[in-house]
Amino acid sequence: MQEQIVFEDNHLLVINKKAGQLVQGDKTGDLSLLDLLKVFIKKRDQKPGNVFLGLVHRIDRPTSGLVIYAKTSKALSRLTQMVKNREIKKTYWAVVPKVEIPKSQRLIHYLQKNEKTNKSTVFPKVTEGAKEAILHYEIIKTLDNFQLLEVDLETGRHHQIRAQLSKIGVPIKGDLKYGSPRSNPDGGIHLHARRLQFIHPVTLEKLTITAPVPQNDSVWKACED
């Protein structure tokens, strides 16, 4: 667990999540990062009682990258409010097919989540039951068969990046649910929560936290080189 911690102080714990890890428990009953971290902190810090750890925001199970946990209730309530107010800037890296798209673009769609299929449908215009989804992407690297997009979210919708990129013809590598032709060997997708920028909820220090890409993947490593 220690190698996954990218930032920690008395109030916050920021983890570089691996693809496939759950951020918190769900109906699968699989062990989540929240459970594992509580056990790890209890043992490392030799805490006699229960460990307080609160999840501030989620990222999808097949996605890798940064997740914030709060170590105090004060930090948790402030960070939760910051998420609601969109005061935490989230930047993602996405590996997509090398096809012709504009170098940078602001995408505005309307997303409707289907609870049964756990998938979002994308509409080009205002649609009843659909929520506005806005992101900005820029191509920052070109590889032999793929290109790397840096994506900044303006809204935080269910499967937003996955659904919107698929809609413009560039599904994320490995994302079968949204149109990628092949899965990745580890079952993950090439979407990585790369950077977080926000004001520390207690110290008021300006934080920029960056997560290295998965090191066991040649495409990711080529992106970071």
Active site residues: 60
User: Residue 159, by phi and psi: left (phi above 0), alpha (psi -120 to 50) or beta?
Assistant: left
Q: d(Cα 186, Cα 114) in Å, to the nearest integer?
A: 25
- The two counts, helices (H) then strands (E), for the chain are 4, 11
In the chain, what's the furthest Cα-to-Cα distance?
57
Phi, psi of 89 (to 5 degrees): -85, 125
Half-sphere exposure (Cβ direction) of 120: Cα atoms closer than 13 Å: 24
Give the three-class secondary structure for 160: helix
Q: d(Cα 161, Cα 136) in Å, to the nearest integer?
A: 10
**CB atoms closer than 10 angstroms to residue 189:** 27
- For residue 164, CA distances in Å to 55, 142, 186 come to 26, 20, 23
Phi, psi of 28 (to 5 degrees): -70, -25
Q: d(Cα 102, Cα 137) in Å, to the nearest integer?
A: 9
